């Protein structure tokens, strides 16, 4: 028997844990703990990572191409790869002749850099910028906001700097559940004397360890952050030298912050004024501080403003470009950062070149061997669904995404997917989205192929092939190479492997110029971008001497508090917010097929405060129905003080987005998952 133990990158969160997969004769056996010296996890794993190999041979795996047959309830028959490709190419060629913008492409934060690069390249050479991925639903405001303030939409410092800081401000983020290995870093920093400040509407597991807990009303993030900044400016606690030499816009910000007194902010957020005062002083005088956020900060109609307000706070304190400091927007999926870097976004090309920038766009076009590329920003994930529902979008090609669970206002998503003339779904399992497909293509999972992934700290790592894909499943990069060739796209080329694709990325994406496949394969620790040349070690800390802006300075940008798009009323008296839990991941496509996790986290529930539960006659374990203006959702009640009165919190992994609001942030186009009005009734 042939036994192999191969280094891969974990397929779940964006932390980027090194996993070693053990296989016999090409069949995966499990995760091996063979190295404890490799960053960033040093052998530590969360429950998901420890069981990551357990779904690879699940009987639900897609193993052959499938074609929809008949009407009504979806039924599929097996077809050959040649027939599947022929049907896809026939339909998409016709749409390209009629109107390329009638097609939409969804890339995937669970696929490699090389695969995301190929998907967005395919879309652009097809003739449209209608390409997007799940960053639109999680960190689009981070990219949009930080590009405005500091010139780069990425984490500024490595995880090791958490251990060197003196103050950690966590807002809208629950690392104890979302990134348990990150929580280990935080607790070690606390042991070394760092203060932990947590701001969240819920009393999460992370708050158990907080020195200061700011429990604020959902959707009032800007007011809270402005209130902290007000105190820092008012009491002259800001870093005068840093602000003077490395930023612009201070006076405008000072004037805008004037009305955000602790007393006013208390009325808006519910956080006591005295606590705002104390936390502002502790954070500003720590000397070294970091801020960490995730979906709780970004998934709002004010998501971009929230990020700008967080950036303002860090710039005022001078906590950027230094050891033990920095901005940490924590990515939810293993390659959200990489998919963004590769340009799998409706408004940005590889390397964050704007599609509307003629010079930058033509620079990419020339590298691809064509004269120009589409110049108008394309449709985002949510906008594609609206366009499909209205008949403007005729076909979609979805790789590794599951919008039938992940998108907001799911009833509208179902209607949109049903109305498409043609839908291709390329995935590892028959997802909820695949039920609407005309053609389903079986893809190889992360351990069954090679390629690079980029973690939230900008660490690019090579993931080696550990085992064979089941049946006729193929790597996503290979499928896309075949489709692009058969479509006859101008500038398309055949690729011999992911290494070949990465070499093209080295040419097209300036930040990746020195991150060659040869270097990555030799260096299991990975390489940080930006890495401008093959002899460059990679840049761990951003903005040390200057910001990537025209004048090298960061922007302090005033933002005003605006309430959420939908607030409670007599008909819908509660605020609904969504959350995530440690044992489940995203749409449950993978974790829902891992027996050890399913046994522990058995199904959907909703957190409700004891006072609200008493008024409604609800006890823990009762079946309840939550209703919003968009849909209804049945689950089990969990009566707990984790949520304050008036708030209902629901883990979204089991389809709770049937309830959520698809109102968009006008800048980043992210939907407002974290706040909408709901009502709750006891079933029966």
The average pLDDT across 406-424 equals 97
pLDDT in tens, 273-282: 999 999 999 9
Residue 684 has pLDDT above 90, yes or no: no
Q: CA end-to-end span of the chain, whole Å?
A: 58
Q: Are strands 574-579 and 647-651 parallel, antiparallel or unpaired?
A: parallel
DSSP 8-state secondary structure symbol assigned to residue 530: P
Tell me if 416 sits within 8 A of 386, measured CB to CB. yes
Number of H helices, E strands in the chain: 23, 28
> Domain 140-329: which CATH class?
alpha beta
For residues 318-331, b (16+ Cβ closer than 10 Å) or e, as one string? Answer: bbbbbebbbbbbbb
Neighbouring-strand partners of residue 634 = 625
Cα gap 683→321, rounded to integer Å: 54
Residue 74 has pLDDT above 90, yes or no: no
Sign of CA dihedral 225, 226, 227, 230: positive
pLDDT in tens, 605-658: 999 999 999 999 999 999 999 999 999 999 999 999 999 999 999 999 999 999
Q: pLDDT band at 365, cuts 50/70/90?
A: very high
Cα gap 59→624, rounded to integer Å: 33
Predicted TM-score (pTM) of the model is 0.97
Q: Give the tokens for residue 293.
A: 């956020």
Residue 407 has pLDDT above 70, yes or no: yes
Q: pLDDT band at 70, cuts 50/70/90?
A: confident
Q: Is 507 exposed, middle or buried (0-12, 13-18, 19+ CB in 10 A)?
A: exposed
Nearest residue to 123 via CA among 347, 454, 363: 347
Tell me if 445 sits within 8 A of 9, measured CB to CB. no
3-class DSSP state of 457? coil
**Rg, Å, the chain Cα set:** 24
- Enumerate the H helices of 541-649 as residue ranges: 595-600, 610-616
Residues with Cβ within 8 Å of residue 339, at least 6 apart in sequence: 107, 108, 109, 111, 113, 116, 133, 134, 135
| Phi, psi at 450, each rounded to 5° | -115, 160
Residue keyed to tokens 């991941």: 585
At 72 the pLDDT is 75
Q: Does the 3-55 domain belong in CATH 1.20.1050.10?
A: no
The domains spanning 3-55 and 66-134+334-528 adopt the same CATH topology: no
Q: pLDDT band at 34, cuts 50/70/90?
A: confident
Nearest residue to 538 via CA among 150, 158, 115, 9: 158
Fold classified for 574-682: Barwin-like endoglucanases (2.40.40)
Q: Give the tokens for residue 366.
A: 């020339």
pLDDT in tens, 17-31: 999 999 998 899 999
The average pLDDT across 75-83 equals 97
Tell me if 609 sits within 8 A of 641, measured CB to CB. yes
pLDDT in tens, 131-160: 999 989 999 999 999 999 999 999 999 999
At 1 the pLDDT is 57
Q: Give the tokens for residue 153.
A: 């939409």
Per-domain boundaries in the chain:
3-55, 66-134+334-528, 140-329, 574-682
Average pLDDT over the chain reads 97
Q: Does the 66-134+334-528 domain belong in CATH 3.30.1490.70?
A: no
At 2 the pLDDT is 85
3-class DSSP state of 130? coil
């Amino acid at each position: 028997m042939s036994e192999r133990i191969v280094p891969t990158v974990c397929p779940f969160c964006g932390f980027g844990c090194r996993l070693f997969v053990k296989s016999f004769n090409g069949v995966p056996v499990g995760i091996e703990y063979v190295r404890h010296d490799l960053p960033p996890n040093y052998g530590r794993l969360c429950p998901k990572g420890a069981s990551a190999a357990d779904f690879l041979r699940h009987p639900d795996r897609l193993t052959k191409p499938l074609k929809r047959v008949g009407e009504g309830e979806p039924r599929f028959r097996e077809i050959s790869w040649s027939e599947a490709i022929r049907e896809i190419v026939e339909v998409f060629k016709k749409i390209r002749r009629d109107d390329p913008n009638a097609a939409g492409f969804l890339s995937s934060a669970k696929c490699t850099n090389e695969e995301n690069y190929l998907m967005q390249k395919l879309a652009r050479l097809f003739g449209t910028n209608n390409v997007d991925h799940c960053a639109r639903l999680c960190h689009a405001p981070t990219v949009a906001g930080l590009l405005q303030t500091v010139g780069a939409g990425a984490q500024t410092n490595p995880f090791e700097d958490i251990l060197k800081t003196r103050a950690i401000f966590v807002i809208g983020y629950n690392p104890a559940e979302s990134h348990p290995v990150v929580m280990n870093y935080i607790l070690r920093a606390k042991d070394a004397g760092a203060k932990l400040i947590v701001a969240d509407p819920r009393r999460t597991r992370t708050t158990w360890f907080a020195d200061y807990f700011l429990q604020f009303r959902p959707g009032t993030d800007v007011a809270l952050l402005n209130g902290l900044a007000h105190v820092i400016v008012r009491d002259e606690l800001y870093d005068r030298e840093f602000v003077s030499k490395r930023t612009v816009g201070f006076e405008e910000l000072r004037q805008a912050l004037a009305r955000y007194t602790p007393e006013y902010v208390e009325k808006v957020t519910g956080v006591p004024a005295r606590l705002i005062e104390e936390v502002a002083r502790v954070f500003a005088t720590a000397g070294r501080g970091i801020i960490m956020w995730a979906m709780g900060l970004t998934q709002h109609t004010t998501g971009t403003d929230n990020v700008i307000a967080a950036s303002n706070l860090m710039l005022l304190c001078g906590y950027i470009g230094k050891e033990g400091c920095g901005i940490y927007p924590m990515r939810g999926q293993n390659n959200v950062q990489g998919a963004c870097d590769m340009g799998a976004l409706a408004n940005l090309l590889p390397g964050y070149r704007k599609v509307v920038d003629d010079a930058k766009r033509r620079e990419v076009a020339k590298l691809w061997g064509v004269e120009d590329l589409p110049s108008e920003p394309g449709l985002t994930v949510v906008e594609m669904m609206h366009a499909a529902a209205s008949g403007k979008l005729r076909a979609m090609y979805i790789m590794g995404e599951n919008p039938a669970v992940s998108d907001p206002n799911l009833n509208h998503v179902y209607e949109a997917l049903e109305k498409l003339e043609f839908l291709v779904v390329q995935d590892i399992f028959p997802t909820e989205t695949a039920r609407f497909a005309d053609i389903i293509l079986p893809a190889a999972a992360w351990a069954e192929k090679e390629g690079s992934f980029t973690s939230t700290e900008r660490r690019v790592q090579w993931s080696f092939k550990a085992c064979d894909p089941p049946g006729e499943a193929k790597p996503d990069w290979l499928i896309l190479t075949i489709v692009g060739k058969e479509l006859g796209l101008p500038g398309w080329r055949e690729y011999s492997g992911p290494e070949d694709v990465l070499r093209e990325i080295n040419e097209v994406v300036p930040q990746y110029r020195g991150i060659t496949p040869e270097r990555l394969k030799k260096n299991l620790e990975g390489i940080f971008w930006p890495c401008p040349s093959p002899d460059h070690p990679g840049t761990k800390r951003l903005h040390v001497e200057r910001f990537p802006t025209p004048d090298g300075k960061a922007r302090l940008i005033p933002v005003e508090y605006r309430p959420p798009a939908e607030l409670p009323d007599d008909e819908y008296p509660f605020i609904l917010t969504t959350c995530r839990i440690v044992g489940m991941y995203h749409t449950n496509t993978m974790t829902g097929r891992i027996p050890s996790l399913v046994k522990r986290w058995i199904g959907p529930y909703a957190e409700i405060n004891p006072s609200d539960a008493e008024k409604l006659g609800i006890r823990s374990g009762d079946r309840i129905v939550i209703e919003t203006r968009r849909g209804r959702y049945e689950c089990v009640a969990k009566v707990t003080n984790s949520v304050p009165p008036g708030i209902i919190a629901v883990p979204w992994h089991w389809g709770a987005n049937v309830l959520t609001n698809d109102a968009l942030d006008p800048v980043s186009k992210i939907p407002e998952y974290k706040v909408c009005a709901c009502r709750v009734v006891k079933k029966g």
